[in-house]
Amino acid sequence: MIYLDNAATTAPDAGAVAAAMKYLQAEFYNPSALYRAGFSAHRAVEEARKNISALIAPQGGYELIFTASGSEADNQALFSSVRRGNFVTTEGEHAAVYNTAKELAKRGIEVRFAKLLADGRVDVADLLAKVDEKTSLVSVIHVNNETGAVNDVAEISARVKKASKAIFHSDGVQAFGKLPFTLGGGVDLYTISAHKIGGVRGVAALLRRKGCRLDPLVFGGGQENGLRSGTENTFAIKQFEFAAKKKFDRLHGDLEHVRALNRMAREALDERLFEIISSEEASPYILSVAAKGLRGEVLLHMLDDAGVMVGTGSACSSKNKYSRVIAACGWNERYAEGVLRLSFFASNTPEETERAVAVINECARKLAERMN
């Protein structure tokens, strides 16, 4: 099988798993326990917190709170920041932000959705037009998880800060460890996740600029400085640390490798059958295409049977007829129903990419012939 759905999840890095295994077996102790072994586990968690934070915020000024998922981190950012006034976000957000915004609207908060450009980036002019003195939070995804479109959250946050006193949050799950970026003062809250970069599922984090208000979403024993209760998963946290360090050590090399794979796929896809949605400036880790007049879900199952695994957009919206994000980009139903998302990782090779695209072309031709 050829796996090209890495935006949904990646295979855990074996070396990072092996390095963290002692925290699952020999050193399994509760980090909150008062005896020596428990304190040792606590120190291991604090070391991971420091090291992961340094990768994305090397100048300091941020606190990292471990969560169980990126969705939880996004929820905490939004529910603790939106108390009154209005909330401004984009039509291109991950479901963890978009559906939380819908819930906030049910609770009486005015939610304003900024429009998207054709490639999935936010229309910055439209976003800023929706920000006013009553805006409590602005949330803009860093890398769109369906098209790979990159929003310049450093510039956008700076412009938002000039227009209002709003808190600025960004879901950086598809950017962390993949694109060169460090946090600055304009971004107050930033979400990252382990399983998109070779970490295991079940651990993520929210970075908070020091001084920015943040309230707990999960209550209990007061772990994570009272901001996220629940016994810390030391194994998953340490494996996240080791996988993240490895990914950042080779970030630029991986980026060039994946960019070559993306270019190869773009050039090899049959243009009579496919329209490329992702722009040349998008993250090379994600390549979304539309099979003209074909059902993406049907094509996905044909590819699965032929040994190629791809997505049809966000794994979190796989039950929908077609993606709301693709529709917000202006693509009509004929194209939106035929979307496939190829997402790469450093472990993918040119040979399997070439083979995968050949299979994609072949399956699309067969499906097109069947429908004529």
Q: H-helix or E-strand containing 4?
A: none
Q: Whole-angstrom Cα distance, residue 302 to residue 287?
A: 19
DSSP for 159-204? Answer: HHHHH---EEEEE-TTTTTTS-----TT--EEEEESTTTTPPTT-E
Pairwise CA distance, residues 301 & 185, whole Å: 45
Where does residue 219 rank: exposed (0-12), middle (13-18), buried (19+ CB within 10 A)? exposed
Structure tokens at 358: 């050949």
CA 239 distance to own-chain centroid: 18
Order of strands across the sheet that contains 286-291: 274-276, 286-291, 339-343
Other residues' Cβ atoms within 10 Å of the Cβ of residue 244: 25
Q: Are 111 and 136 spatial neighbours (Cβ–Cβ below 8 Å)?
A: no
Residue 99: partners with Cβ closer than 8 Å, 6 or more residues away: none
Q: In this structure, are residues 94 and 74 in contact, taking their beta carbons and an 8 Å threshold?
A: yes
Has 212 been annotated as catalytic?
no
Q: Which residues contact 331 (CB under 8 A, 6 or more apart)?
A: 277, 290, 339
Nearest in space to 279 (alpha carbons), one of 178, 174, 153, 147 = 147
DSSP class of residue 21?
G
Cα 144 from Cα 346, distance rounded (Å):
19
Which listed residue (212, 316, 329, 363) is catalytic? Answer: 316
**Enzyme catalytic residues:** 316
